[in-house]
Each structure stands twice: as structure tokens, then as C-alpha cells.
Amino acid sequence: MTTPPLLQARAERIVEEDVSFRTKMLEIAAGQQDVIAMGRGDPDFHTPSHIVEAAKRAIDANEHHYTHPAGLPDLRAAIADTLAKGYDLSYNVDEIIVTAGVQESIMLCMLALIDPGDEALITSPRFTTYDTAVHLCGGRAVPVPTYERDDFALMPSEIEARITERSKVLVLVSPNNPTGAVTPPNVIREIAALALQHDLIVISDEIYAELIYPGSEHLSIGSLPGMKDRTIVLNGFSKSHAMTGWRIGYLAAPEPFVRLVTEPRHTLSINTCTISQHAALAALTGPQEPVEQMLVAYAERRRVMMEAMDAMGLTYGHPGGAFYLYTNISASGMPAPDFCEALLREAQVMVFPGELFGDDSGHYIRFSYLQPLERIHEALARMSVFVEKLRI
Ligand SMILES: Cc1ncc(COP(=O)(O)O)c(C=O)c1O
């Protein structure tokens, strides 16, 4: 068979990703009744109503036009204020770019930083968008493994062991997806020292930083002495404000870098949807109770999930943040992809294996607790029967 012209013309940077497992799971689920989906990272809560109302008002007020490519000045001012009050970070309006989700910020960062052959160290298991973005720029993604014994916190020694002459970027994701791991402040300080010593640029993905549970503490690496100059902070609204579909997030970095990437950002999409920017402004300046209420609900679900895993005899990395539980199913004797497929077929509970997060150990599955509590109880009851059967 001849290769079609469009595929023949394919640029070398494009490689076909293997999405067959995800597709297979979705196909199995489509043929089943009453599946409880605990795989996706999309909150089950709706966007708080005052945010939705602000968007409606923006539409009615004819806010239908382009904005500055970096975003509405008022929104950028509100972001700067939030970063100062919540994270001890000092940025002004000219040091922020509003993007279509953190996702677009990730691509923008890699476009700006990665030359062919450059290496990006990435907290792993990981959100694999980072791999794709680095590859698209001709770079090499270097996973830095984290381990259950450390509750999946990123360890400076693991970073150091992988630093080469080509290491340029360190992607720090805390709390992390898929593990929920919060890298503790004292470790963040050591990582900052490493970045300074080895001249690394840090991309600090803090999209889950509003979702921290008692006992854990978030420290934004860019707030440490000497770090602002070499750090890009990424954050957004998708997770904290249940705003995944609005496609809005941002990056914060020193002004010369922001100036440098504003034109490429203009080339990608001119500006983030104007209506969404008005919604995000309301998210930051309006009442914060809805965010707090969601966090209370997640905390309760997390407690229930951990208790159930303990009862099933399954271990996990203690998640200090986010809304994930990264569970070790090696006691089942099944590789994680097989476990997930069997759990879906036999118990109608959908979760994803660590393999989808760059973890080929075969030992882990990621739960997201983004279902109402009664559905979570139901999923756990079904899973417990499933696990019991495996042990026989
Ligand atoms: C670590 C991490 N970064 C970025 C994103 C993308 O988020 P957004 O919806 O803001 O593009 C996700 C989404 O799951 C994520 O887990």
C-alpha cells in the first residue's frame, strides 16, 4: 500500500502516539451499563455559578473581541495579586501571559526553551503532555522517577543522577499527576540549590497547588532566593475552580522572557477566549467559598478511598494534594493494564494504569476521586469483590 501524500510529507517531529489502550477501554465501557469512571482528571463539580454569570455578562456586554495576546490587564493584575498573596511570588502585570489552559503554557515554554538535543528532566510518573511538547521541539524527555517509599516526592538525588551537559529544563510538578505527591518545602529548597548549581531552568507546574490536604505544605520554588530569574510558574483554573472546558491558565515569568514569548503566543491562538478571561477574573476576585467547599468534598473522598485501599490490603503513595490516588496493585499478580481491563469488564469501574503516565513498572493504577461520594462507595464495593476473587 502506498503512503498517502500527507503522511509522506510528515515532519520528523511528529510521531504517532499509541492510544490503543485508552481507546480499547473506552470501547469496552461503551458496551457496558453503569460504568463508574474514575479515570479522568476532570472535576465532577460544575463551575461555580458566579463565574458562569460573569461569563454571561461578558457576552451580553459585547466582550466578543480580541484582547492583548498576554490577556486582559485586569485579569493579569488579579493573577499577580493571587500569586503574591497565595504563593509569596512577586510578579507584575507584564510578567504574566494568560493561555488556553496550562496545556498551552507548556507548549509555549518548550518552544521557547528547547533546541534539538536539549534535555528536559520531568517528575515521573508524569503528565505525558510534557514528553510530547519536548519531542515536538526536538528535545529529549528525561523522566526522573519517584517512588512509593517516598510517597512519590521528587528526590534531589534522582535529579542529580540524570543531569548531563544537555540538561536545560527541570519540570517540577507538585502536587503531581498521577500520584498526588506534594514535594515537601525542605526538598523544594534542595531542588532550588541544584537548579542554581547546574544552571537549570525550572518549569514549576502548580495547577494542583490549591488542592493541598492537612499535613502537607506547598512551597512555590520561584519564591526562593535567586529562583525567580530561572523559574516559570504555571497555574490555572481547570482543577481548582472546576473550569476544564473554559480552557484558561497562565504562566508567570520575568518580563524579558514574557516579552520574548508574547509573539509566539500570538501566533498560536492570538489570545485566550475573551469570555473565559472574564470568567477567570470572577474566579479570582469573587467568593472563594465554592473552591473551599470542593476541597472539603475531595478531602472526604480521599479519606474514604485510602481507608478502602487499606481494607483491601493495597498500598499507595500518601497523596498530599490533587485528587488522585496512585495505588499499588502488584499484590493482585496482574500487570496494571490487565488489572484495569478486568476491573472494567467485571466490575464496571474504569481507572487507568500507570503506563499511561510513563510508568512501565506494571504495578500501579491511578484513581481520580471525581465522582459523588455515593458513587465512590459503590465503585469501592465492586472493586473489593473483584480483588477478593483475585486472591482465591
Ligand atoms: C500536571 C498537569 N499540568 C497541566 C494540565 C493541563 O491543564 P489545563 O486544563 O489547564 O490545560 C494537567 C491536566 O490534567 C495536569 O495534570
CATH number at residue 134: 3.40.640.10
Q: What is the spatial distance between Cα 47 and Cα 241, in angstroms, rounded to a whole number? A: 6
Q: Indicate whether 207 pLDDT > 70.
A: yes
Residues 227, 342: one domain? no
Give the CATH number of the domain where residue 371 resides: 3.90.1150.10
Residue 34 lies in a domain: yes
Residues 86, 203: one domain? yes
The predicted pLDDT at position 17 comes to 82
Q: What is the spatial distance between Cα 383 and Cα 391, in angstroms, rounded to a whole number? A: 13
Q: Indicate whether 392 pLDDT > 70.
A: no
Q: Which of 79, 98, 99, 102 has most ligand 1 atoms within 8 Å of its beta carbon, as the pocket-test mutant?
A: 102
8 A C-beta contact, residue 317 and residue 180: yes
Count of CA atoms in the C-beta half-sphere (13 A) of 14 = 6
Ligand 1 in reach of 105 Cβ (< 6 A): no
Structural domain containing residue 105: 59-285
Residue 52 lies in a domain: no
Mean pLDDT of 217-230: 98
Residues 294, 265: one domain? no
Residue 51 lies in a domain: no
Residues 271, 321: one domain? no
Kindly state the DSSP code that residue 201 receives in the 8-state scheme: E
Ligand 1 in reach of 321 Cβ (< 6 A): no
Residues 225, 254: one domain? yes
**What pTM was computed for the model?**
0.97
Cα(206) to centroid(ligand 1), Å: 9
Q: Which tens digit of pLDDT belongs to each residue from 49-69? A: 999 999 999 999 999 999 999
Mean pLDDT of 162-174: 98
Cα(131) to centroid(ligand 1), Å: 13
8 A C-beta contact, residue 113 and residue 169: yes
Residues 149, 294: one domain? no
Cα(211) to centroid(ligand 1), Å: 13
Ligand 1 in reach of 102 Cβ (< 6 A): yes
Q: Which of 127, 146, 152, 366 has most ligand 1 atoms within 8 Å of its beta carbon, as the pocket-test mutant?
A: 127
**For the chain, first and last CA: distance in Å?**
49
What DSSP letter does each residue of 286-303 carry, written as one string? S--HHHHHHHHHHHHHHH
Residue 345 lies in a domain: yes
